Amino acid sequence: MSLALDEALTTITGAMEIRYTNEEAVPLSAVYLRLYPGLLGGSIGVDNVRLNGEPAGYELQADASVLAINLPEPLQPAGQVVVALDFLTVIPETYGGSYGMFIVQDEILAMAHFYPVLAVYDESGWNLEIPSEQGDISYADSSYYLVELHAPADFVFASSGVTIGSEPAGADTRYTIAAGPMRDFYLAGSYRFERQQATVGGVTVNSYAFAEYEEAAGRVLDYGAVALAILAEALGPYPFAELDIVSTPTRALGIEYPGIVVIALRMYGPDNPFGEQALESTTAHEVGHQWFYSLVGNDQLDHPWLDESLTQYATLLYFAGRYGDGGRQGFTGAMQSRFDNSGASGLPIGLPAAAYTPAEYSGIVYGLGPLFFVELEETLGAELFAQILQDYVATYRLRIASETSFQELAEQHCGCDLAPLFTEWVYDD
């Protein structure tokens, strides 16, 4: 993918080439790409679409959020096709959908889902649903990325992957970035960013913020580095060479991407309206997503409990690992209070994100959901449950777990029937 970012940070011109292998058991008559910028307050235009170097016909579907490219002949299982296209993305300067994850504001560029993304082919076929504004919008397979970025020379950025080269290109700098296997490629930056750095188990952890937020950025670096160490021990090795933590103007407290997480800028100032524990727990939570969402994928739209609730349980592991029983009890109480104060009751944790009201989504997915995993741990025993978590990560590494994957794997370990427990807590009967 070749990208050129303008000086005002409001448009990005791109050209990309996707080498796609049909890993399904059936021939495919078309390939589908997701176009998210229009759903996020911006826009994206696509041109010069090609298949194996030849011009290809295409059409827009699903409110122009899907690019359908018909194949001249069915792509057989294990067959390959090269899709190439050019695109122009306009980045909004006001908040659009999904928490302002795609925006330039407060002198910060946040570039989520800015390019055409290959859709997922799952048990129901190509997944092309229009995501709700609640929860995460992405659902993607893991891919390798090689990115060439032309950006103003004084633009400081963080991205998925690792920058493996840079050289002057007129008034710009040309960067070469390698990433993968990752489910997404994300980039954020500012002319005013400064970086702090630490190393954990051979992994470079970077924290990006304005100079006036140096102290808070240092604390975020500490929270992220410690979370990385604790969760790598509990869940398995962190899979990438770097982890970047970036302050952005998101309306969410934090958002996860492969190899990079963002924390709300408004939590860095002295008047943080959410308090220091929220800054710490949000940082630990987003780091936890590097295992649940990034390494182990799932349908975040239809089964958010599989990444959000499980990541919230991973956050509990952070507090227990760092602060002992007091930390565990304190965060468990916070999750219980989050559910109690939401007014949500009688709903299972396994519904699609769109099925909940905002209050229900917060209370059930982030409050009640992780308490289900606490219940499982107490039912099966801490030692066995820890083994299940590690095996789940190893088994579904770089794959997509289904709604029943966790239950099936846990039952294999315990030799028991967990259906009554999952039916009571998770499934919508």
For 69-84, write each residue's pLDDT tens digit.
999 999 999 999 999 9
Element (H, E) at 194: strand 194-200
- Is the pLDDT at 385 greater than 70? The verdict is yes
Instruction: Name the nearest CA neighbour of 370 among 414, 400, 407, 333.
Output: 333
Three-state SS at 107: coil
- Is the pLDDT at 165 greater than 90? The verdict is yes
| Cross-strand bridge partners of residue 203 | 200
Beta strand 242-248 with 260-264 is parallel
Element (H, E) at 408: helix 405-414
- Is the pLDDT at 288 greater than 80? The verdict is yes
Q: Could you tell me the two tokens for 25?
A: 């058991």
For the segment 390-408, the average pLDDT, to the nearest whole number, is 98
pLDDT number for residue 23: 97
- Is the pLDDT at 345 greater than 90? The verdict is no
Q: What are the structural domains of the chain?
A: 2-288 (2.60.40.1730), 304-425 (1.10.390.10)
Greatest alpha-carbon pair distance for the chain in Å reads: 65
- pLDDT grade, residue 135 (50/70/90)? confident
C-beta of residue 87 within 8 angstroms of C-beta of residue 14? yes
- pLDDT grade, residue 429 (50/70/90)? low
- Is the pLDDT at 98 greater than 90? The verdict is no
Three-state SS at 233: helix
For the segment 406-424, the average pLDDT, to the nearest whole number, is 98
Mean pLDDT of the chain: 97
Query: Residues 200-243: pLDDT tens digits?
Result: 999 999 999 999 999 999 999 999 999 999 999 999 999 999 99
- Is the pLDDT at 96 greater than 80? The verdict is no
For the segment 6-27, the average pLDDT, to the nearest whole number, is 98
- Is the pLDDT at 285 greater than 80? The verdict is yes
As to burial, measured by CB atoms within 10 angstroms (0-12 exposed, 13-18 middle, 19+ buried), residue 152 is middle
b (16+ CB within 10 A) / e for 18-31: bebebeeeeebeeb
- Is the pLDDT at 347 greater than 90? The verdict is yes
Comparing 93-97, 128-132, 264-268, 281-285, which segment has the lowest mean pLDDT?
93-97
How many degrees, rounded to 5, is the angle at CA 291 between CA 287 and CA 292?
A: 100
Instruction: Name the nearest CA neighbour of 367 among 337, 406, 330, 325.
Output: 337
Own/partner contacts of 375-378, CB < 8 Å, gap of 24 or more, are 375/421, 375/425, 376/410, 376/418, 376/421
pLDDT number for residue 427: 94
Query: Residues 245-263: pLDDT tens digits?
Result: 999 999 999 999 999 999 9
For the segment 388-412, the average pLDDT, to the nearest whole number, is 98
Q: Which of 114 and 98 is assigned the larger pLDDT?
A: 114
Query: Residues 291-318: pLDDT tens digits?
Result: 999 999 999 999 999 999 999 999 999 9
pLDDT number for residue 183: 98
